[in-house]
A = this chain, B = another copy of it.
């Protein structure tokens, strides 16, 4: 089964292996566009339409278990797509599509719970589903349900992910690792003290507040989903050809995530989030963006966690407080089907 001529689990895990597969296999499907197309490998595409941008994005979801502490596959499907639009600067989604692939024998009651959860997330984000598709595969041909959404929005201004220059600061909008740790501990049935739950939430309201405060000084945005904060910082660094110094002690992490990280032996920096954003901000605007984020219920634990530097372009340097070392990007997250 293994070998370079076969697709492996790591090819879906959000790290280097996945990016290499996408670049080798799928990038040839792109073509020149007036705006941000496939080759940019950003959170979505952006095409010029008159004096606006049409922003489009898509994600499939295969999370297992389907229901987990803090959310379910329906909530992720809506939030993930709303968030990728927001990461492009498009905070007013026009609509989402909803395509389900269901296993024969799947309980209708579970389908309805998923639907209800999607509905609630849509209401939070201020969007509706406008079209969809339903396919059924035979028993044993798909594990439960696979859910795809695509989203589209118009925006006056977009934010890409390659805008950092030395001196810019990196803000994360809250604690990291919550989603991935909640799914992993549930899957392995680990007992963690306290309330370990996914952060899955639509971020368009929070991002709107940050963009109102920061304007053009917000120069890069990405949501740290598969691959976690570490992956986002590597992408920021590689695309802008800067180094990024990550100030380890300032990264917000809950006690519960810390405990789970120790039990599982997994660094929260490489674990998926579904309700956080990472922003690159010009130094003069950092205070007002941080204040705007902290004034929003979803951004109370926002923090400045790093700085772009001219040295070590393409790399992430972790400052642990005791010393500095290169932070490796994970080749593939330790567990598959995290979202």
Residues on A facing B (Cβ under 8 Å): 1-2, 4-13, 18, 21-22, 25-26, 28-31, 33, 37-38, 42, 44-45, 47, 49-50, 54, 56-62, 94-95, 97-109, 111-112, 115, 118-119, 122, 128-143, 146, 148, 150, 152, 154, 336-337
Residues of B within 8 A of A60 (CB): 99-101, 133, 135, 146, 148
CA distance A199 to B100 in the complex (A): 25
CA distance A112 to B26 in the complex (A): 8
Residues of B within 8 A of A336 (CB): 136-138
Residues of B within 8 A of A94 (CB): 47, 54
- Please classify the interface of chain A as helix (H, G, I), strand (E, B), loop, or mixed, using the class held by over half of its residues: mixed
Residues of B within 8 A of A146 (CB): 60, 101, 142, 146
- A108-B6, A336-B138 known; A119-B59 Cβ under 8 A: no
Flag if A129 contacts B59 (CB, 8 Å): no
The listed residue (B8, B21, B102, B148) touching A134 by CB distance below 8 A is B21
CA distance A258 to B111 in the complex (A): 39
- A97-B58, A137-B337, A148-B58 known; A131-B45 Cβ under 8 A: yes
> Can you list 10 residue pairs at the A/B interface with Cβ under 8 Å?
A12-B136, A31-B122, A38-B128, A47-B94, A54-B94, A56-B95, A56-B150, A58-B99, A60-B99, A60-B148
- A138-B337, A146-B101 known; A108-B5 Cβ under 8 A: yes
Flag if B137 contacts A143 (CB, 8 Å): yes
The residue on B at minimum CB distance from A97 is B58
CA distance A122 to B11 in the complex (A): 25
- A54-B54, A128-B33, A131-B57 known; A7-B97 Cβ under 8 A: no
CA distance A9 to B101 in the complex (A): 11
Flag if B58 contacts A131 (CB, 8 Å): yes
CA distance A150 to B5 in the complex (A): 28
CA distance A4 to B154 in the complex (A): 41
- A44-B131, A58-B132, A58-B133 known; A138-B9 Cβ under 8 A: yes
The listed residue (B25, B136, B139) touching A11 by CB distance below 8 A is B136
The listed residue (B7, B129, B143) touching A105 by CB distance below 8 A is B7
CA distance A211 to B107 in the complex (A): 44
A128 to chain B, nearest CB (A): 4
- A37-B128, A38-B128 known; A150-B97 Cβ under 8 A: yes
CA distance A29 to B123 in the complex (A): 10
Flag if A26 contacts B58 (CB, 8 Å): no
Residues of B within 8 A of A129 (CB): 26, 29-30, 38
Flag if B152 contacts A26 (CB, 8 Å): no
Residues of B within 8 A of A131 (CB): 37-38, 42, 44-45, 56-58
- A45-B130, A130-B47 known; A28-B105 Cβ under 8 A: no
Residues of B within 8 A of A108 (CB): 4-7, 25
The residue on B at minimum CB distance from A4 is B108
Flag if B33 contacts A115 (CB, 8 Å): no
